[in-house]
Chains A and B, each alone.
Chain A
Amino acid sequence: MFRVASDTLNSRVPAGPLEQKWDKHRFNLKLVNPANKRKYSVIVVGTGLAGGSAAASLGELGYSVKAFCFQDSPRRAHSIAAQGGINAAKNYPNDGDSIWRLFYDTIKGGDYRAREANVYRLAQVANNIIDQCVAQGVPFAREYGGTLANRSFGGAQLSRTFYCRGQTGQQLLLGAYQALMRQVSTGRVKMYGRREMLELIVSNGAARGIVVRNLENGKLEVHTADAVVLCTGGYGNVYYLSTNAKGCNVTAAWRCHRRGAFFANPCYTQIHPTCIPVSGDYQSKLTLMSESLRNDGRVWVPKNKADQRPPGQIPDDERDYYLERRYPSFGNLAPRDISSRAAKERTDAGFGVGESGLAVFLDFRDAIARDGEDVVRKKYGNLFHMYEKITAENPYKVPMRIYPAVHYTMGGLWVDYNLMSNLPGLYVLGEANFSDHGANRLGASALMQGLSDGYFVIPYTIGDYLAGSKHSKLAEDAPECRAALQDAENRITKLLSVNGRRSVDSFHRELGLLMWDYCGMARTKAGLEATVPRIRALREEFWNNVRVPGEGSTLNQSLEKAGRVADFMEFAELLAVDALHRNESCGGHFREEYQTEDGEAARDDENYSYVAAWEFQGAGNEPVLHREPLVFENVKPSTRSYK
């Protein structure tokens, strides 16, 4: 199903002690003279936390920046929906935190499948992020005396999470958005909204531009630059139902992959334990209930199968608080992968609640009795409100019903320590890259990574590349630009001309269900082997039977969706192949054949302690596996325990 390349990928991690790597590296990076910066142009695709912060910071430095997003405004990127918070090792609560501990927790949380040096750098710059956001006017929660407040989050035994009620992502994104708008007003950044990237332009082996479609009028545009920075988020919507926004897609990343960029660890997907359960087959998306709720909510199911009593009438000794039972030291704050699997274990065994039996309770009874309803409302009011809107149940009175759902994807385009892909000049930031979370991401660390990459990594590393690059300006009608433009145009024509019988959404739903059943929370060799041909068959049917109404020369939302689903159809196969090749369980990748006696993930460090970076060989052709060995000089990989 795949071929293995004999080379090993070079991560370009600098030598020296872990604590000094980033400082030394920054000194060794080449600089671009302030007066010369405006002569270099940079394209930033995507304007979430990573893209917004990158475009703003590069603009501040003086580079000529063009930023693109498919939404009508950069303020809409899905980073805005992050609820819980952002981690940093400030140790303000004086509870023993340190950069080293944040680094250690993140490496362990990722089940020892992340690069040490990247994670350490992330932990180092996390404190700068908090300072920067405070200075921008982000209204973080405060103590009465005016100092910053912290709360605890999954996978950590201390309080290091900064938050803005249940809307932390919104406030951080608006901070980055405002910084970006300020650069737009100075003219250093030119903003292009409602543009979707359809192709990457590669010239002499380097990324030099993009082809975008203006979604309002359908016009294709070519934009060239000296470097391209991709910040286009994750691929969770390959499952159709996820907590991602409807527009989230893999297209930009996949188009780069088709042009030669390696895709790393696509099988590392995060299933978040606390989402509102699926109801009905018309459902269009799943809604997350922040992990922060597990600070005060207790997760349980009845001890007796098919207990039909209302939850409030089930006495404590007939409730199974299974997270507290199985993981006494972390309890309800066990990491996401572990909590999700524990919920699946209970519901598979027949103890699930609700109409479908695919749900568990998240109960605030004890917190309300202890602290009062007002305190609970102050902390989680907007989440409780959202839950009631969707389910018509009042969570102050009856426990929430929750179930795991696809939430985040740790895999992404392969990047080196400088966040550059194997294609020179193509940088990949935030969720779109694979770099910092290994096989599982801890809560409150996605915001940290997006902003770390955008505010504090790319401004230094891109200068090194630009200072060393010797290329001349690429004309927008150069042959490689015209070819990429033609490819994009041909694809649109092809999608519009199939004129079959099934809608794009019906294909997307079918693909999603297939992926969830065989490539979701638990995977098996047999299931994955059977899934690959089914994905291929569905892809073939798509190209013969999809109906995309309308034209290419107007706003056409069916056409937008069709292009994205077409790419998901190719990507899904790679995800399944990656999951099949990785004969171990780690983090979010759980192969049923590889588990310990008590049902925990069993890693195989001897054979699989590497990053799997895949090279495209044409749709339907065997991809080539390149490996980057993971070297642990500072922490010893051990069996993760949260007991």
Chain B
Amino acid sequence: MSSDTLNLTLRVWRQAGPDKPGGFCDYQLEGVSTHMSFLEMLDVLNEKLIAAGDEPVAFDHDCREGICGMCSLMINGQAHGPDRGTTTCQLHMRRFASGETITIEPWRASPFPVVRDLVVNRSAFDRIIQSGGFVSVNTGNAPDGNCIPVPGHRQEIAMDAAACIGCGACVAACKNASAMLFVSAKVSQLSILPQGQPERAGRVLNMVAQMDKEGFGSCTNTSECEAACPAEISVSHIARLNREYMKALIFADR
């Protein structure tokens, strides 16, 4: 293993609170190991800031293994940084070169207001799920698991969609701040599975209505969302969402 280290300039968005003005601050960081994850590099920056008597940079993170969806960050203008199918916590510093300036910003979308520094409020996603992203089955109502057979290939498509981690990168990457990839992942999963059939039409209409109400923009099929998605959710789910929506609007017995 190489013991390479990097010297970096970090240009970080600092904002004291939701209603406070924000701006970029530049920090020099030397001797960054290429084996560090991006968030470990920020940990090192924060230790340095605390030692100097400054306030550390606030950023969201939790599992640090790419599944909880808590971490975010626009890194040099790209949601979760330059690697495909990778969250910020799984991005490693070997991807960068010494002497580089790295610009770090929060998700930029008005439905995700900044709380502080790099932390944003993504509760809009919870409200979209509340509007219909579930199967209405109370605990205790279930028949034996094998009474609901699901063909293997359909289960695979449903699982592809269900893999969404709800991080919001799709919204941040989209020039319209559209949440279509997020919404379509849940609509798609539940429209493919037999369990989702009874509420199929109402679900898609309600979730799209809530998405619009939250202020997310329209989809213009540029697929930036798919390119940024750490769970590699395909835009084909957006196509399915559109079909589901049209069918529900025209034919559904609601």
The residues of B that contact A141 with a CB separation of less than 8 Å are 155
The residues of B that contact A139 with a CB separation of less than 8 Å are 150, 155, 158-159, 162, 189, 193
Measured in the bound complex, the distance between the Cα atoms of B44 and A393 in whole Å is: 25
- Select one of B33, B40, B126 contacting A73, CB under 8 A: B126
The residues of A that contact B129 with a CB separation of less than 8 Å are 177-178, 181
A185 x B130 contact (CB < 8 A):
yes
Measured in the bound complex, the distance between the Cα atoms of B199 and A185 in whole Å is: 15
The residue in chain B whose Cβ has the minimal distance to the Cβ of A72 is B122
B149 x A145 contact (CB < 8 A):
yes
Shortest C-beta distance, B15 to chain A (Å), equals: 11
The residues of A that contact B139 with a CB separation of less than 8 Å are 53, 56-57, 60, 132, 179, 455-456, 459
Report if A78 contacts B (CB, 8 A).
yes
Shortest C-beta distance, B219 to chain A (Å), equals: 23
Measured in the bound complex, the distance between the Cα atoms of B162 and A243 in whole Å is: 23
Shortest C-beta distance, A364 to chain B (Å), equals: 20
- Select one of B70, B92, B150, B155 contacting A392, CB under 8 A: B92
B130 x A182 contact (CB < 8 A):
yes
Q: For chain A, residues 165 to 202, give those with C-beta under 8 angstroms from any C-beta of chain B.
A: 165, 167, 169-171, 174, 177-179, 181-182, 184-185, 191, 193
The residues of B that contact A365 with a CB separation of less than 8 Å are none
A558 x B50 contact (CB < 8 A):
yes
The residues of B that contact A455 with a CB separation of less than 8 Å are 139
- Select one of A76, A131, A193, A282 contacting B62, CB under 8 A: A76
Shortest C-beta distance, B14 to chain A (Å), equals: 13
A142 x B155 contact (CB < 8 A):
yes
Measured in the bound complex, the distance between the Cα atoms of B63 and A80 in whole Å is: 9
A179 x B36 contact (CB < 8 A):
no
Report if A505 contacts B (CB, 8 A).
yes
**Interface 1/0 per residue, A278-304 and B, CB below 8 Å:** 011011110110000000000000000
In this complex, the member of B37, B40, B162 whose beta carbon has the largest number of chain A beta carbons within 10 angstroms is: B162
Measured in the bound complex, the distance between the Cα atoms of B145 and A92 in whole Å is: 10
The residue in chain B whose Cβ has the minimal distance to the Cβ of A504 is B50
B155 x A245 contact (CB < 8 A):
no
Report if A27 contacts B (CB, 8 A).
no
In this complex, the member of B94, B145, B158, B159 whose beta carbon has the largest number of chain A beta carbons within 10 angstroms is: B145
Measured in the bound complex, the distance between the Cα atoms of B196 and A177 in whole Å is: 16
Shortest C-beta distance, A338 to chain B (Å), equals: 25
Report if A71 contacts B (CB, 8 A).
yes
Measured in the bound complex, the distance between the Cα atoms of B39 and A216 in whole Å is: 21
The residues of B that contact A213 with a CB separation of less than 8 Å are none
B66 x A131 contact (CB < 8 A):
no
Shortest C-beta distance, A180 to chain B (Å), equals: 9
Report if B190 contacts A (CB, 8 A).
yes
A503 x B92 contact (CB < 8 A):
no
The residues of B that contact A505 with a CB separation of less than 8 Å are 43, 47
Q: For chain A, residues 24 to 81, give those with C-beta under 8 angstroms from any C-beta of chain B.
A: 53, 56-57, 60, 71-78, 80-81
A555 x B119 contact (CB < 8 A):
yes
Measured in the bound complex, the distance between the Cα atoms of B133 and A161 in whole Å is: 27
B145 x A73 contact (CB < 8 A):
no
Report if B11 contacts A (CB, 8 A).
no
Q: For chain A, residues 229 to 248, give those with C-beta under 8 angstroms from any C-beta of chain B.
A: 243, 245-247
A178 x B163 contact (CB < 8 A):
no
Partner-B contacts on A (CB < 8 A): 53, 56-57, 60, 71-78, 80-81, 90, 92, 128, 130-137, 139-148, 164-165, 167, 169-171, 174, 177-179, 181-182, 184-185, 191, 193, 216, 243, 245-247, 279-280, 282-285, 287-288, 355, 385-386, 389-390, 392, 455-456, 459, 503, 505-506, 547, 549-550, 554-555, 557-558
The 5 closest A-B pairs by CB, nearest first: A146-B149, A178-B134, A135-B142, A131-B142, A134-B145
Question: With A78-B62, A170-B163, A549-B54 given, can you name 20 additional A-B contacts, CB distance below 8 Å?
Answer: A53-B139, A71-B62, A73-B166, A75-B126, A81-B63, A90-B145, A132-B137, A132-B139, A134-B148, A135-B135, A135-B137, A136-B134, A137-B193, A142-B149, A178-B133, A184-B130, A284-B37, A284-B64, A287-B64, A505-B47
